[in-house]
Amino acid sequence: MQKDTSFETLVAIVARLRKECPWDREQTFDSIKGHTIEEAYEVVEAIDEKDYGELCHELGDLLLHVLFHSRIAEDEGLFNHEDVIASVTDKLIRRHPHVFGDTKVDGAAMVKSNWEKLKRQEGRNSAVDGVPRKLPALLRATRLQDKASKIGFDWPHRDDVWRKVEEEIRELKSAVEDAEQGKIEEELGDLLFALVNYARFVDVDPEAALRKTNEKFIRRFQYMEKRFVEEGRDIHNASLEEMDVYWEEAKTGVEP
């Protein structure tokens, strides 16, 4: 059977589901927004794993959410999928005058700088407006710093950023020694923010780096659990020293 790749068919299917499926009919922006975020993360996971067949599938799921939100909006008389398409089409043309107009640019850095200037002209009150509060904190810190750097608010050298990291470590240690809980939280936040900044200077995505470390921890921990099961022992009754033996073994035995 030939696959139906028509965009109009997908739009019609979503519209029919909203009319005829009891579950789909009950959904609202709020009820599915968490699922929308989940689908976006599944896209990222497929990219991280270089599973391009899965990426194709997950992009389809994300597209479905765009159309589903658009259909909810149409049912409420707000807008429809054509308005969504028109909005992004207009924005892409407007923010790429070097492609669709006469503006000259010298490289990607100038494109990014012009993009921020155009957003300010469109009514943004601040260079750091438009970074969603719901973003994961590491990702939001990266975006805030990136936007600030585009107007020249940035460290001149990587070594300066590292000295700031070391300064924040000292301040966190001092707050811990003083047992000031509120200050500890503040200084820990400052340290994380400085580390995110350093990651930007060494061209590392801190969100991706932490995701990889999380997965590495899971692999090592599960290897340790497996070794205790193989020995017929309960890990809950093991000492830290005994667990550490298998942890070190995992570091040499299960890393990709």
Q: The whole model's pTM is what?
A: 0.68
Instruction: Flag whether pLDDT at 256 surpasses 60.
Output: no
Whether 200 and 223 share a structural domain: no
Give pLDDT, residue 42: 94
Alpha-carbon gap, residue 28 to 19, rounded angstroms: 14
What is the span of the domain harbouring residue 234? 208-253
Question: Which amino acid, one-letter code, is at 27?
Answer: Q
Instruction: Identify whether the C-beta of residue 42 lies closer than 8 Å to the C-beta of residue 58.
Output: yes
Least confident of 103-107, 114-118, 156-160, 218-222: 114-118
**Chain-centre distance for alpha carbon 174:** 32
d(CA 180, CA 188): 12
Q: Are residues 29 and 84 in the same domain?
A: yes
235 and 172 fall within a common domain: no
Q: What is the pLDDT of residues 32-47, one digit of tens each?
A: 998 999 999 999 999 9
**Within a domain: residue 161?**
yes
Cα–Cα dist 125/167, whole Å: 32
H or E segment to which residue 57 belongs = helix 52-75
CATH code, domain with 80: 1.10.287.1080
Closest CA to 189 of 138, 143, 240: 138
Same domain, 193 and 212: no
Question: Do 69 and 30 reside in the same domain of the chain?
Answer: yes
Distance from C-alpha of 84 to C-alpha of 64, rounded to nearest angstrom: 14
Domain boundary (187, 204, 221) is at 204
Q: Does residue 22 sit in the same domain as residue 55?
A: yes
- Interatomic CA distance for residues 193 and 136, integer angstroms: 13
Please give the Cα distance from 209 to 161 (Å, whole number). Answer: 18
Looking at the 3D structure of the chain, how many domains does it have?
A: 3
The mean pLDDT value of the chain amounts to 91
pLDDT grade, residue 2 (50/70/90)? Answer: low
**What whole-number distance in Å separates Cα of residue 201 and Cα of residue 216?**
24
pLDDT at 168: 97
